[in-house]
Structure formats: C-alpha cells, structure tokens
Structure 1
Amino acid sequence: MIKILKLFILLWALAGCQNATENNAASAVKEEQPNYTLLQQELEAIYDLDQGVRDVDWDSINADPVGQRAYIYKMHQIDSTNQTKVLPILEEHGWLPKSKIGEKAADALFYVVQHSNSRTIEQYLPQMEELAKQGEASGTDAAKMKDRLLMFQGKKQVYGTQAVSYIRKDGKHAIWPIEDVENVNKRRKEAGFELTVEENAERLGVVFDPEEQLPDVHVSFNK
C-alpha cells in the first residue's frame, strides 16, 4: 500500500512539472507575439513618408535640373531612413501578414523594400511571395518586386511592370524588356493585374516596344 502511495505521489509530481513546463512554454510563445498595433502605427507613418515625397508634379521637377537633383537627394534620404526602420522589423518578425497590420502598413513594407536595393529585395521577395499565395500579401505587388529584381540583375522582366529611361537612344521612358512577351498579358491576368501591358504603358505615359532589347551596359542597383 505504501509503495502504491509513493508511486501515486511521484506521478502527481511529474504531472505537475509537465503542466508547469507546458504553461511556461505557452507563456513564452505568447510573449513572443509581435505587437501588431504598434507595428501598424509605425508602418503607416512610414508609408506616409514614402508616398508623400513622391506625390509631386513630375513635369515641374524634370524641367528644373537643379531642383531635380535636390529632390532626388531628398527622396533617397527618406528612403534610406525608412529602411533603417523597416528592415529591423523584417529581420525580427519576417514579412508581416496584412490581416494583422492592415493594407496601408502592408503597403509600407512593400514600398520600402521596393525602393531599396537588389540584395534587400532578393532577401525578402520569397517571404512576400509565400504570403501572397496565402492571400496575406498583394500578388500584384509581389509581381512588381519580382520584375524589379530581374531588372536590377540585368535580366528581362516577367510581368512588364518596370520602366526606365536609359534603354532608348531617344531618352524616352520605356517598359523594360520582357521575357516571353507574347504571353505577358496572360501572366499579368494570372497575377491579378487588371490592365494589359499596353494599357499600363499608356497609363504611365511610357513607350512599350515588344522588341525592346536589354541595354549593353548593366547599371548596378546593389548598393
């Protein structure tokens, strides 16, 4: 009888230890959850900075070379500052789902990474693409980021979302060359774009030439 009692006490003690361990583990997991409310507020403020500096009269800026240089410097400074705030968030939490932080904050993540360099885009694009498959990130934004990375790498883009001014001798902005251009609008539709590449080029006021070739000189964006 005494042996049975001792065995019961031992089992009870072990069960108590296990429950304590499980409770501690659950508490640790709970403590590690991001504060989505604070992250959302911070990212929404960053969104306003990123988009605010770009909400300008481009015709006026482009007509003034001195003012243009000053504006570009200001924009790069804001982009750099935003990256110092957003990249640590991504390093700690990974790409945040939009259901947790809202559309505007999710857009901030996209814009800050999109306006960075090829190394940063290459690092975080897979995370964004995975969340896009789950409906937790924008599929069209993920497509834009993929195109931008390919352009930065000197390769043809997939969805025809990126345009530059240095691939044509006339200096006009033009859609960056597209891989398998015959099927680009099919890919765009699958990604969620409403406009064809031709319609989008017209909206942007840029040239779209299906025969556009990659430039002879590759411009590095890995800075």
Structure 2
Amino acid sequence: MNHLLKFCFLIIFLVTGYEGHAQQKPIPYDSLRTVLEGIYEVDQGIRMKMGAVKPEDMNDFFREMQRVDSVNQVKVLAILQRYGWLPQSKIGEKAANGLFFVVQHAPAKVIKQYLPQMQKQVKLGEANKTYAAMMEDRLLMYTGKKQKYGTQATSMLTEDGTMAVWPIKDPVNINKRRKEAGFKDTVEENAKRMNAKYNPDEKLPAQPVKFN
C-alpha cells in the first residue's frame, strides 16, 4: 500500500509540475503584435473603402465587411481566450487598436465578455480609456440602455432611416464625462461628424432593437 501511495504522489507531482511549467511559458508578445497589426490593417482597410461604394452595391459591401469581421473575430478571440486582454506596452499601440476594433465590431456577447478586461487594463494604464468608453457605449446600446458618452448613433431610431445619436443618460453632464474619458470634441460636434441628429431628450425605443 505504501508503494502504491508513493506512486500516486509521484504521478500527481509530475502532472502538476508539468502544468506549472506550461503556465510559466512566456507570452509571445512580438508574434502577437505582428498578427494583431495585420488584423488592424484588414479591419480598417475594408472600412476605408466604404466611401467609394455605390448605393446599389452597399448591401454586397456590408456582407463582405461582415465576412471580414467574422474572420478577424475568430483570430482575436483565440488570442483573448488564451492570454486575456494584452497590455499595450507589450504589443504596441497599433496592435492594441486592432484588438479593440475587432471586439468593438463583434456581437454584444463578445463585448460583454471582454469589456471588463479592457477596463481593467485602462486602470493599469495599459489600454485606451477613450476606446473603452466607446465600447461601453456600444454595449449599453446593444442591450437597450442609455449610453454614457454619446459615441453611438443608429438609423433605427428614425422613420426615414437617417442617423440619430442613441439616447444618453444624464445629458446635462455628457460633455464633462466625454472630457474625462479623453474625448477632444463635444457630443454635438461628434454628432455632426457622424452626420447624426442629436436630441438630448431622445427616449429609448418602445420596442427592443435587435442590432446583432
């Protein structure tokens, strides 16, 4: 029996020792930087083509953009599931932006899962607080709640399909919050940039809006 117990303890030691060794393997930041920088180029590249798309081709363009986003999400989620939200000082600003944009363009369930990780990195000075505010606003909009920073607009609020800023919580202090989050413009200026109508008294839709 003693020999059996010793053998069991030996197996446990070897297994746990191997797992500990595997967990201590260095994170390949340089390789991840290269991958994420490439993903950033693809994410932004497809969107830079939007202005040249003819109205009759817009549906095909959006389908292609969704395809690109889906491919990018598979790659980025594999990274996030293995390493978590990576600190910007380790991968560089461009790669960090690639991480952000892919999650920002993902479904609500993905944003909900990884926004807390990004916010934690913001507190450590390792993620862009303005981008985190944008992601928080998007999640609030996707879940039918009022946004905090006025970064999100949609055509689903208007009968004619024109863009309108999603309803805002505490609109009186919106520009103060924007400044604290690092935004350089006001909510009014941002609405103009998005070619969206801004109504500080905008109400939430009576019926839930399905975004994705």
TM-score, with normalisation over the residues of structure 1? 0.83
Change (3 A) 1:152 1:68: same
Instruction: Give the equivalent residue in structure 1 for 2:184.
Output: 194
Tell me how far 1:220 sits from its aligned partner: 2.6
Cα distance in 1 for partners of 2:172, 2:162 equals: 23
Change (3 A) 1:30 1:215: closer
Number of residues of Structure 1 aligned to a counterpart in Structure 2: 195
Deviations 1:121-168 (A, max 9, x none): 000000101111111000000000000000000111000000101101
Contact 2:129 2:181 (8 Å CA) reproduced: yes
Deviations 1:184-214 (A, max 9, x none): 1111111111111011111222111111111
Cα distance in 1 for partners of 2:70, 2:208 equals: 23
Instruction: Give the equivalent residue in structure 1 for 2:144.
Output: 154
- Confirm or deny that 1:41 pairs with 2:31: no
2:49 alignment partner, SS class? coil
Unmatched runs of 5 consecutive residues or more in structure 2: 1-16
Instruction: Give the equivalent residue in structure 1 for 2:118.
Output: 128
Deviations 1:68-96 (A, max 9, x none): 11100100000000011000100110000
Identity of aligned residues (%): 50
2:185 alignment partner, SS class? coil
1:143 aligned residue (127, 133, 143): 133
1:54 alignment partner, SS class? helix
Unmatched runs of 5 consecutive residues or more in structure 1: 1-23
Tell me how far 1:171 sits from its aligned partner: 2.0
TM-score, with normalisation over the residues of structure 2? 0.87
1:54 aligned residue (40, 47, 52): 47
How well do the aligned residues superpose, as a CA RMSD in angstroms? 1.8
Larger Cα-atom Rg: 1
The runs of at least 4 aligned residues of structure 1 exceeding 6 Å deviation read: none
Instruction: Give the equivalent residue in structure 2 for 1:78.
Output: 68
Tell me how far 1:29 sits from its aligned partner: 7.3
